[in-house]
Chain A
Amino acid sequence: MQQALNNRTGRLLYKLGLLAVIIVGGDFLLGKVLRYWYFKQESGLLYRTTYAMEVTHSDALIFGSSRANHHYHPAVMEQQLGMRTYNTGRDGNFIFYNTAVLKSILKRYTPKVILLDLDVYTFNESPENYDRLSALLPYYKTHEEIRDIVELKSPFEKIKLQSAVYPFNSLIFKIAVGNTEMNKSRKTDLNGYVALTTTYKNDIQEYNIEEKIDTQLVKSFTSFITSAKAAGSKVFVVVSPIYYQYKRSQTIGLARAICQNNRVTFWDYSRDTALQQHREWFADRAHLNDEGAQYFTKLIAEKIKQEEQQ
């Protein structure tokens, strides 16, 4: 009886062991392959994050989400400021992502000018802010400085990241495309900037959110501006134009106050009626198109120049 039990337990342990070896081995090999191809990309969305974190040495850097990415044209900035500019903005990634990318950059060098674009409701509580930290998972292993930010994603992130495949979850096709020539012609970027070419057709409307402030996001924003300032960069926080009206934004109030406390320039264009008169400059209610971006970048660059001269 005892022997039979031992045999059965032994059989189970053997099979579980075999399965574990296959899973761990498969995970290791597949993870290695994915990592190799991920960092071999030379264009596209994923590559731009790698470039921002590991390569760029531009004097002026743009940070933010899709609004930053589509609103600030580096060539216009370069022309106005005479500084090499790179746009690190990434679609759907907000302040956590920006702070992580900044940390990696500051570890390598100090940019002269840092511009952070904020959304009207950036500090609003949303699980998406944490979910989207997955954009940083491939860098967790090699970038110690961003680990505390990535670990905000969930209390178990450290354990999950023991898997070599997990950081590349849902990225296999993007990695595959990123390694082909097709990617370069698909969506070209100009020093990180991706132009939007459509024109918004709808009338201006009101869009309100009952904001519930996430203190973690506020902390991250504060950390962004204080560390950039401490490093010696000149920091500008901008709320770029939108094609909708809103009643109230706690985010803007808080961000303005934090900037004031830290002596950081804060410009709010979210209610700029002069810009909102030009519907042809918008691609949708939250994004400027290329024409709008060129105009707005010039406007901001001139203001930065004036600030610099003062």
Chain B
Amino acid sequence: MLFNSFEFLIFFPVVTLLYFLLPHRFRWLWLLASSCYFYMAFVPIYILILGFTIVVDYYAGIFIEKASGRKRKLFLVCSLVANIGVLAVFKYYNFINENISVLCQSLGVVNNIPYLSILLPIGLSFHTFQAMSYTIEVYRGNQKAERHFGIYSLYVMFYPQLVAGPIERPQNVLHQFREYHKFDYTKFIEGCKLLLWGFFMKVVVADRLSIYVDAIYNNPGEHNGTSLTIATFLFGIQIYCDFAGYSTIALGCAKVIGFELMTNFKRPYLATSPSGFWKRWHISLSTWFQDYLYIPLGGSRVKISRNCFNLFITFMVSGLWHGASWTFIIWGALNGLYLAGERLINEARKNGGILSRIQLPRVVATLITVLLISFGWIFFRANSTHDALLIMQKIFTTSGKPYLSDPSQLLFSLIGITVLFAYDLQNEFFVNKNILINNRNVVIRNVTYASIVLLILLIGVFDGGQFIYFQF
């Protein structure tokens, strides 16, 4: 089920209302049943894959806890193999096979390995990573194995974050399923505000921008460098609003019933460096890779060359996590290079010299970061590496009038972007100034909520509008 669907507008209040009406002992069951329904609204059969990983990880957790020595590791490896195996089959099999074919072709050999014609289960990478964090944390001794099968299933399947995160850690969420959440007025209101803002980001900004971006990026050969440059910057905003919008709605849904999920986005385009950007963008995934890949590789407590390598590898794997395509791998590698470069510059600054004397104004640092990140988005959004290279070439070599099929599309986008950045700037620089949405005056506050609702009705995009991150 999509958050931005009418079905969800019925599903959400019914789930919430019944959650509070039910006795505490039945609430987990209700949430689990609702989550199953939510997931099965996409492709029902795929719940079996989810069920498989849940059963494997549930028992793996218990066995890891009971075992000692090598056996512990063995059970962890079993769990990881099962999870990564599912990912490999459903997400990476055809990509690997495709590359084998190319390799075979260059060697003059025929690749007879068949291709699989299967759909990628929605949100597979998200719930697989969440499940993996559970067994790893049990192995590390940071989390007790969950004995209640239903509660564990809910940890993986909790509907607000089931298909696009945030990718939670067991320490943060598992205990919340056991706790009694009485109706909390403040949390309810806060949750509703998050829901409203999330819908605004998705329906008014992301889906509107996607109309322009898709038109350009799906036919890069037909457009000039000016249009491609505009589309690239707009895609940066689109994907921010698409994904942060989803996460905000997820946080809101959970908060309304008293659950706290981790913040996934903190105004990333106001970061002053690539590393700062990644501390603000998809935080739950960045910290996942930090905890389970970057630090085990040695993190930053190694030689600088090794540290740069660790950063590069971590981001390349992160790219691969996003999609089984070379465009995503290049995008990850590019961001890895940014971070490695930043690390080297910081090291050079520490050692004195000219670099240590240069202090960029915040606005300049932010602009440079936006430029670098936006350049990376070319690979993320392009339909193929060929398209990405063509787009880059055209951006740097051609110009002309920007493509403008329907001026009202851009005007609507501008309205959305203005409201978005006003909101983000206020939260970044004037945290305690409650101008509109948190204004103390109840009338101003309500008029602000109503204006957002009317703005959604007036200029939101209601047709189509899948969440980009679902494909991951």
Contact = CB atoms under 8 A, between A and B. Distances in A.
Contacts of B442: 15, 18
Given A160-B6, A173-B407, A173-B411, A22 B458 contact: no
Interface centre among B407, B408, B412 (most CB of A within 10 A): B408
Interface string A39-82: 00000000000000000000000000000000000000000000
Given A22-B450, A131-B463, A30 B408 contact: no
Contact of B450 (A19, A156, A159, A170): A19
Nearest to A23: B450
Interface in A243-287: none
B11 interface: no
B458 A172 contact: yes
B6 A154 contact: yes
B458 A168 contact: yes
Contacts of A169: 457-460, 462
B453 interface: yes
A26 B454 contact: yes
A78 to B, nearest CB: 32
Interface size on A, as a range, is 20 to 34
A12 B446 contact: no
B390 interface: no
Contacts of B6: 154, 156, 159-160
Contacts, number: 63
Interface size on B, as a range, is 20 to 34
A23 B458 contact: no
Interface centre among B7, B412, B457, B462 (most CB of A within 10 A): B457
10 contacts: A11-B185, A22-B447, A26-B450, A131-B464, A154-B6, A168-B458, A169-B457, A170-B461, A172-B458, A174-B408
Q: State the majority secondary structure of interface residues on A.
A: helix
A30 B458 CA distance: 9
A154 B2 CA distance: 14
Interface in B431-462: 442, 446-447, 449-451, 453-454, 457-462
A163 interface: yes
Contacts of A12: 185, 188
Nearest to B455: A165
A19 B408 CA distance: 30
Interface string A163-200: 10110111011100000000000000000000000000
A160 B456 CA distance: 13
Nearest to B6: A156
A303 interface: no
A165 B456 CA distance: 10
Contact of A30 (B446, B454, B461): B454
A134 interface: yes
A14 to B, nearest CB: 9
